[in-house]
A and B are shown apart, each in its own frame.
Chain A
């Protein structure tokens, strides 16, 4: 491929070759996207299979528990069993579960709502929490990583190292309660009860962004006040990991031959850093994308500590209530978000790095 364009360059005017290259690149990108979408489908199918396995492993008699435990009438149990296809062969159950989840027809026995409605109501809280955590990951992780790369082997570099190490080793619940003790019990500067209301006009379904977009700054402030500490706790682990990663990939980029060339040419320092930054961005994007999935994974613990009514907490309550449709639905939604996040990372990766050959 490269040699071909090289040959062209000598015969055709330069401009032509550039536009041709760009056009080629675009079709290639499109082809890559199509292929990536195709692999997306079996993954989703696999996800439904595992979700079904979880549902199938459900203990023999949830119907009795839902109908009221020991004293449940036989008739009620029969009705529930029939409604949820509990006595049917596995393929009937599978289609029932998957179509039910997609068409939102499975009724949650605890709340009598379609189960996806319940999940949908709680999802913005979890998503907002993840956004706040992500904000902290970026805010702490990237500058800290860059500084420690520039001041290599200094005290700050060691600090970042230790910070990252403690980040991956600290139990979230421990950090959460300590910070609650500091900010809530001692200083009383945060609120831990309920969640501020969503703004009236719904644009993105994420309350804090909606509040900002509609200019409702008071509500925006309330949301920030409620979410910043949980976000920080959730993002703490990721921030250290990202800082380390940014440091390493920046150092790797700055040791490239082209940097020596730029130095020899007498390019100012800041511009050299810009070049190095651009090259180190590719691996950083990957790790940042993966971090979002990890943040979602940490949501149940953080939500339990701070009493945020997101889907993580909903899943935990569902477990204690033996509410299995809810567990299945939450697992399904989490997997969907995770898979989509990974997909976006892959596409970003292809767009950012022009050297990538698909």
Chain B
């Protein structure tokens, strides 16, 4: 076991770039982490780990992929640590102490200027990174598994169940996505607010997730409403993709043999079909992550979702647009941040599509090995 793993590495010892070494370290750490919880995992999944290494080698050799991955990593780290490293809290209003901070331009009081409450734009952007990250992750976590589940059921069982599920999906796909999100985000908050007020644990979790103070508890319902509204918009696409690939997988031999030995349907669906179709879905998720960030910024630009003093990239632009063109920094910087974030996800998704294609990955492997012969 150990030897072959070593052998894989020995083969590529000569032409691993710095990035490859970093990615190998990451994978080593991941293996270490998993083997704490599961004994023998490393031995059982040797080929899988080798595959992971190769995927990273392929990613490291495509510049867009590297740029995308680093942008995404930066934004995730900013989302996690942003509120902690921000110089000021989002609800600290310097305007009350120093009236000149009102819309002060970049460099005068703060690095990137201040908004109409005199708040530091850098701190707002860092806090906004958390808001954006939490909302997009929650939308993906709520919407995608639901869509995949329905798509699997529809594709696997077929017949009437398929018909019903796909008709419901079509209903949701009949709306322009942003319009449906706007409608639900507008209508939901009042319904949800009672739920949040009654449920202390949910309230605490949300406050912790968004890194907000207790005083903002009243505005949580609007954030939650945006999440739910976007999840409602997002699941039908996944139901459709999953159903399509499940339909083709259902006919393949391994499903038939699994059926023949009498495995239960749920096991076939989740343990056998799902791992085989998850590749393209992962690419969609990555590309969609950017779309979710963009849509969320758009919604909050329209005044849905976060309300001041909660910081949100789209909301900063919305508030700043009242003072346009004088306070240009309130529009340029948040917009640029959104652009970079979305760009990162799109770049990563594009190169993931290439990498998850087994043929292309083999060609990379070939390249790596050929170089060794030369050496």
A selection of 21 A-B contacts at a CB cut-off of 8 Å is A47-B171, A49-B171, A50-B180, A54-B184, A58-B187, A171-B294, A171-B298, A171-B314, A171-B339, A172-B298, A174-B331, A181-B325, A293-B176, A297-B178, A298-B178, A315-B179, A327-B183, A330-B183, A331-B175, A334-B175, A335-B176
Q: How many A-B residue pairs have CB under 8 A?
A: 142
Extra contacts besides A46-B167, A328-B183, A331-B180 (8): CB < 8 Å: A46-B170, A174-B332, A177-B321, A297-B178, A327-B183, A330-B183, A331-B179, A335-B179
Main secondary structure of the interface of B (DSSP, over half): helix
Q: Which residues of B contact A139 (CB under 8 A)?
A: none
Query: Could you tell me the distance between the alpha carbons of A43 and B184 in the complex, rounded to whole angstroms?
Result: 19
Query: Could you tell me the distance between the alpha carbons of A246 and B202 in the complex, rounded to whole angstroms?
Result: 48
Residue of B184, B331, B342 near A177 (CB, 8 A) is B331
B255 contacts chain A at the CB level, 8 A cutoff:
no
Query: Could you tell me the distance between the alpha carbons of A90 and B178 in the complex, rounded to whole angstroms?
Result: 27
Within 8 A of B (CB), among A40-71: 42-44, 46-47, 49-50, 54, 57-60
Within 8 A of A (CB), among B325-373: 325, 328, 331-332, 335-336, 338-339, 342-343, 346-347, 350
Asked if residues B343 and A177 are in contact (CB atoms below 8 Å), the reply is no
Q: Which residues of B contact A59 (CB under 8 A)?
A: 187, 190-191
Residue-by-residue, is A256-298 near B (CB-CB < 8 Å gives 1, otherwise 0)?
0000000000000000000000000000000000000110111
Query: Could you tell me the distance between the alpha carbons of A326 and B324 in the complex, rounded to whole angstroms?
Result: 29
Distance between B320 CB and nearest chain A CB, rounded to angstroms: 9
Segment of B15-23, B109-117, B257-265, B299-307 engaged in the interface with chain A: B299-307
Distance between A134 CB and nearest chain B CB, rounded to angstroms: 14
Q: Which residues of A contact B350 (CB under 8 A)?
A: 165
- How many residues of A sit at the interface, in one of the four size bands? 35 or more
Residue of B182, B191, B331, B338 near A57 (CB, 8 A) is B191
A173 contacts chain B at the CB level, 8 A cutoff:
yes
A10 contacts chain B at the CB level, 8 A cutoff:
no
A231 contacts chain B at the CB level, 8 A cutoff:
no
Segment of A1-9, A80-88, A193-201, A316-324 engaged in the interface with chain B: A316-324
User: Provided the pairs A54-B187, A171-B339, A327-B183 are in contact, do residues A316 and B175 lie with their beta carbons within 8 angstroms?
Assistant: no
Q: Which residues of B contact A60 (CB under 8 A)?
A: 190
A37 contacts chain B at the CB level, 8 A cutoff:
no
Query: Could you tell me the distance between the alpha carbons of A339 and B174 in the complex, rounded to whole angstroms?
Result: 6
